[in-house]
Amino acid sequence: MTRKKAPVQDPHFSPDPELFRPAPSQVLAGVIIRSKVPHARIVGLSYPPLPAGWTLVLPEDIPGNSVFQVFRGRFPILGGEEAQYIGEPLALVTGPDEGEVRRWAARVRFITRNLSLDEFA
């Protein structure tokens, strides 16, 4: 008979089991909506009606400084007026069901204008 080893626990930390087992109604799925263009000015946003209980987070919804610094680079938490690269996070959406949130996020469209060489950085 093989015995399972007990997990190693930190003697200084005793987690509350209820804290790590939220009720399904308390769990939200989140999706990051990313840029599909390499570098463009964002001039608009089109999205379907947001269902009750869902949240859409845009750059202007982030209070205070929305830029973080890593070494010498500065990065916005969410892209603002310009998309800087393909895959840049532009918005976040949360809802109760991951599949529904992903389907909703796939219908979001950022209206962009390509930048000329004179407009780069």
20 within domain boundaries: no
Domain span at 100:
26-116
Per-residue model confidence (pLDDT) at position 66 = 75
Q: Provide the pLDDT for residue 15.
A: 65
What's 62's domain CATH number?
A: 3.90.1170.50
Assess if residue 8 is contained within a domain: no
Query: Does residue 2 register a pLDDT over 90?
Result: no
Domains held by the chain: number: 1
Is this structure's pTM higher than 0.85? no
Q: What is the chain written as a DSSP string?
A: -PPPPPPP--TT----TTTTS--GGG--EEEEEE--SSSEEEEEEE-PPPPTT-EEE-GGGS-S--EEEETTEEEESS--SEE-STT-EEEEEEES-HHHHHHHHHT-EEEEEEPPGGG--
pLDDT band at 14 (very low <50, low <70, confident <90, very high): low
- Does pLDDT of 6 surpass 80? no
Higher pLDDT, 4 or 84: 84
